[in-house]
């Protein structure tokens, strides 16, 4: 079962994200240079980087090969402009809570190798240490 957030909720999440980034950069000297926005990940295929953005759509494909969990950033599935975080079934035990529930609606910073899967940039995550919340 796929859950999709409404367009207004996505806009609110993006505004909250921008506000949080401004707050963080003003208080700690940290800037968005600590990572790149989800919509620019496609320009960094093959690089190990940190990508940030709002989790707008999630899905645990428990009946699919490898039992992947998808965290779609910026735009929901099946939008070709989205960025996707993939957590394979064998790695779900590394997470205290189901990732598709825990991260939905949050702004995250995910670190790893950006790869291309059928035109969609993605990072495969094995541990929660690769994902930071804002």
As for how many domains the chain has, the answer is 1
Is 74 within 8 Å of 99 (Cβ atoms)?
no
Beta strands at 48-60 and 3-4: parallel, antiparallel or unpaired: antiparallel
Say what the pTM is: 0.77
pLDDT tens digits, 28-63: 334 445 899 999 999 999 999 999 999 999 999 999
Domain residue limits at 76 = 3-133
Here the CATH number for the domain that contains residue 107 is: 2.40.50.140
pLDDT, residue 50, reads 98
Q: Which residues pair with 84 in a beta bridge?
A: 72, 122
Report residue 15 CA to chain centroid gap: 16
């Amino acid at each position: 079962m796929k859950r999709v957030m409404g367009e207004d909720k996505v806009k609110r999440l993006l505004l909250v994200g921008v506000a949080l980034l401004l707050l963080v950069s003003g208080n700690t000297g940290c800037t968005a240079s600590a990572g790149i926005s989800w919509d620019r990940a496609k320009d960094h295929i093959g690089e190990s980087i940190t990508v940030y953005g709002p989790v707008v759509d999630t899905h645990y494909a428990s009946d699919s090969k490898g039992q992947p969990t998808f965290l779609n950033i910026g735009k929901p599935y099946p939008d070709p402009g989205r960025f996707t975080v993939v957590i394979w079934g064998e790695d779900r035990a590394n997470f205290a809570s189901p990732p598709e529930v825990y991260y939905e609606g949050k702004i995250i910073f995910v670190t790893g190798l950006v790869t291309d899967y059928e035109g969609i940039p993605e990072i495969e995550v094995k541990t929660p240490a690769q994902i930071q919340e804002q």
